[in-house]
Amino acid sequence: MSGQQTTHSTASDQTSPTLIDCDIHQKWADPQELVEYLPKQYRDRGVQAPDILYDNVAEFSRRDAVPDDGGPAGSSVEKMKTHHLEEFGVDYAILTGNSYLNLTALPNRDYAAELAIANNKWVIDNWLSEGGPFVGSLLAAPQKPNRMAEMIRELGDHPRVVQVVMPMASQLPYGHEHYWPMYEAAEEMGLPIAMHPYTEGHGVTRPPTGAGHPNTYFEWHTLLGTYAMGQLVSLVAEGVLAKFPDLSFVVIEGGLSWVPHFLWRMDKNWKALRAQVPYLQKPPSEYIRDQVRFTTQPIEEPNNPEHLLQILEMMHAKDTVMFASDYPHWDTDSPLYALPPMPDELEQAVMAGNAQELYGLPDDPESLPTDRT
């Protein structure tokens, strides 16, 4: 932010992680890597998913993140380690996937579910087996919630699987009971559910904005936070957070500045309209503070850094905010410059403490097994 480097001072316990990156995008070098994990009836079809509709003229990923062998950015374990993780001293990299989030916008829900499962097995075999800082997410295709619940119970006990990730966009708002089998499974397995943008307006999902389909990537990217707001209000108002009190959600890549307004507006409406949501036994902001976490990238960058600190205070950031870089995408945030200087306690919570608590990560990443044995 404005060229001010943060120090990221270590916590009093020097053995605790000081930097946990909650949005790292790994990718396969060739879709054929995934095909061998598909059921036989889908192998001839290969990997097919709707492509993004909005082009970024600066390209979607950083050119300097391309591996030396020329594969896609994010496809090389070694390149990711040397170019980002070791460069900044990242203790844990939470892998969230890449453009294959789009498979969840496919109209064929059976194929979409099997693609998601194939992806997850590929991630376990090719990334989580590396150990070190890598922990990962199970991609879920919400079109098929019962099959995804089975998958969460089957693969969710891997010691390096720490969450389930779904697209921010969906056919129905995520509070709808259609999705509840996934939530039951995730809560049972102790896995938070993250929501990540990319699929808005693609395939079977809804338009990317409340006003309809925008014209440019500029518009689409600017309004990602509005989709997060729609999903979050649905999760609260439909009673998901109340019904699943041990289930947490993570809002990734949706921005932050809207959160104080959102909390205030929901609490105000709840006071007058609570008869419509009798299962909410406390103000919505309290459910969100207890069960929802927000990642930093793309962080707002006001000219006066104090304004961002005020926003962080209003949204209880010492309990609710976690650092994310979005590496290797075009707008990657540097752990050194993305955030303003903060009080030590807040900085430790945002840069590592909140994520360590949410995901139940041990102090030493090497103590996590790389398989179930």
The pTM (predicted TM-score) of the whole model is 0.94
Q: What CA–CA distances, in Å, run from 69 to 30, 66, 162, 194, 260? A: 13, 8, 30, 32, 45
Asked if residues 167 and 227 have their Cβ atoms less than 8 Å apart, the reply is: no
Q: Which of 1-15, 107-121, 200-214 is predicted with the least confidence, judged by mean pLDDT? A: 1-15
CA dihedral 127, 349, 300, 334 (to 10 degrees): -50
Asked if residues 260 and 314 have their Cβ atoms less than 8 Å apart, the reply is: yes
Is the pLDDT at 2 greater than 70? The verdict is: no
Nearest to 200 by CA among 225, 180, 178, 176: 225
pLDDT band at 203 (very low <50, low <70, confident <90, very high): confident
What are the tens digits of pLDDT across the range 233-267? 999 999 999 999 999 999 999 999 999 999 999 99
Q: What is the pLDDT of residue 12?
A: 47
Q: What is the pLDDT of residue 56?
A: 85
State whether residue 77 is helix, strand or coil: helix
Average pLDDT for 91-96: 98
Is the pLDDT at 198 greater than 70? The verdict is: yes
What are the tens digits of pLDDT across the range 324-369? 999 999 889 999 999 999 999 999 999 999 999 999 999 999 999 9
Q: What is the pLDDT of residue 103?
A: 78
Is the pLDDT at 1 greater than 90? The verdict is: no
Task: Read off the tokens for 282.
Answer: 């406390």
d(CA 92, CA 76): 17
Which domains, and CATH codes, for the chain? 20-361 (3.20.20.140)
Q: What is the pLDDT of residue 9?
A: 47
**Going by C-beta distance under 8 Å and a sequence separation of 6 or more, which residues neighbour residue 79?**
65, 66, 67, 68
* Residue 132 burial class via C-beta count within 10 angstroms: exposed 0-12, middle 13-18, buried 19 and up: middle
Asked if residues 338 and 296 have their Cβ atoms less than 8 Å apart, the reply is: yes
Average pLDDT for 130-153: 96
- Give the chain's count of helices (H) and strands (E): 16, 8
- Mean pLDDT taken over the chain: 92
Q: What is the pLDDT of residue 200?
A: 84
Average pLDDT for 283-305: 96
What are the tens digits of pLDDT across the range 275-284? 999 999 999 9
pLDDT band at 7 (very low <50, low <70, confident <90, very high): low
pLDDT band at 55 (very low <50, low <70, confident <90, very high): confident
Is the pLDDT at 189 greater than 50? The verdict is: yes
pLDDT band at 207 (very low <50, low <70, confident <90, very high): confident
Is the pLDDT at 3 greater than 50? The verdict is: no
